[in-house]
Amino acid sequence: MTQPILVVTCRYPKDVEDRIDRDYNARRNPNQLPFSQQELLSAAAGADAMFITLGDQLDSEFFQRVSPTVKIIATYSVGFDHIDLEAAARRKIPIAYTPGVNNEATADIAMLLLLGASRRAYEAQELVRTGAWKPLSPDMLLGWQVGGKVLGILGMGRVGQAVARRARGFGMKIHYHDRSALPAEIAGDAVYHKDPSDLLRASQFLSLHAPETPQTRHFLNAKAISLLPPGAIVVNTARGGLVVDEDLIAALKSGRVAAAGLDVFEGEPKLHPEYVSLKNTFLLPHIGSATIETRTAMGMLALDNVEAVLHGRPAPTLVPALSWKVA
């Protein structure tokens, strides 16, 4: 029996690669750089399915030109802002994604960023790595304790809830905004804010966990920042597009925001260069899901979706109609 043709745009953990090699005739990207759109379209000619990443931008033109043989596109991500969903729907190509398997790993990184930013970890590590460490006076490298502080969580989905569990262990008080209040058995002692502006006013620490949509894009702008308590600390492990870089950078320079921990950036892997020049930023290269366990689970879920569609079965995690918004 002829194996289905699967376009594979990246390399994955070993168990995922083994499954691809076993079950599919894989058309792989031979280059280190991502496929260009034309290369991706050429690879998709006659293919049954595609397995892509956030680095593959599928716009309206792509869907106008993609081969009619493509029955499903699976993205190795929870986010899908790199895909024109309306254009995909017009071609009746289902889009699969990988929710529900990266919650714990991403929440770990959110706490790493929160602690790294609040304890000035970048500055401290720089002293050690550059050989500039000398006896410190008691007033040097003073950070901010997290215990007893309010952590505001924008987007109380799976990741937001996992962050809340961890933050409670550090003695933090949890406040949140989402489309609606969580059931009491899930929310626990977390305080719900129907209006995100009220959440901002309460948040000594703010952690972003909302998807990027037209409604949430550039949520954290100068106006939103002005509502935060002076000296607040901002963490983002969601999407870079939630933040207006220039406004956050200005607040970091002035001290209006004391520090920021960022794992995602608008336009990544490029980022606003002024983030790098600031001492009060703790920066990571979008590694929220980067554990062997999580990356393997993501790949297996993506392939589960491909297999289901190609065999006429219900797929476990197709992208739903998205109505999430910050009111």
Q: What is the pLDDT of residue 57?
A: 93
More confident residue, 139 or 247: 247
Active site (catalytic) residues = 239, 268, 286
- Give pLDDT, residue 326: 33
User: Does any domain span residue 318?
Assistant: no
Q: Does residue 147 share a domain with residue 89?
A: no
pLDDT value, residue 29: 85
Average pLDDT over residues 18-46: 92
Q: Are residues 148 and 16 in the same domain?
A: no
Q: Of 234, 78, 256, which is closest to residue 158 (Cα–Cα)?
A: 78
User: ∠ CA(160), CA(165), CA(169), 5° rounding?
Assistant: 140
Q: Quick one: pLDDT band at residue 321, thresholds 50, 70, 90?
A: low
The tokens describing 141, both together, are 């490298």
Cis preceding linkage at 34, omega within 30 = no
**What's the domain count of the chain?**
2
Largest CA distance in the chain: 73
| Contact assessment for residue 57 and residue 82, using Cβ atoms and an 8 Å cutoff | yes
pLDDT at 327 over 60: no
Report whether pLDDT(1) > 80: no
What residue numbers bound the domain in which 80 lies?
Answer: 5-101+291-310
Minimum mean pLDDT range among 76-85, 100-109, 191-200: 76-85
Whether residue 74 is found in the same domain as residue 212: no
Taking residues 13-37, report their average pLDDT: 92
Q: Residue 209: which CATH number? A: 3.40.50.720
Residues 165 and 130 in one domain: yes
| Confidence (pLDDT) at 303 | 98
What Cα–Cα distance (Å) separates residue 45 from each residue in 8, 60, 64, 305? 13, 17, 13, 20
Amino acid at the residue 217 = R
319 lies in a domain? Answer: no
Kindly indicate the confidence band of residue 135, based on its pLDDT and cuts at 50, 70 and 90.
Answer: confident
Taking the C-alpha atoms of residue 263 and residue 188, their distance in angstroms, rounded to an integer, is 28
Residue 124: pLDDT above 70?
A: yes
Query: How large is the angle between the packed helices 158-169 and 103-118, nearest 10 degrees?
Result: 50
pLDDT at 322: 41
* Number of residues that this document lists for the chain: 327
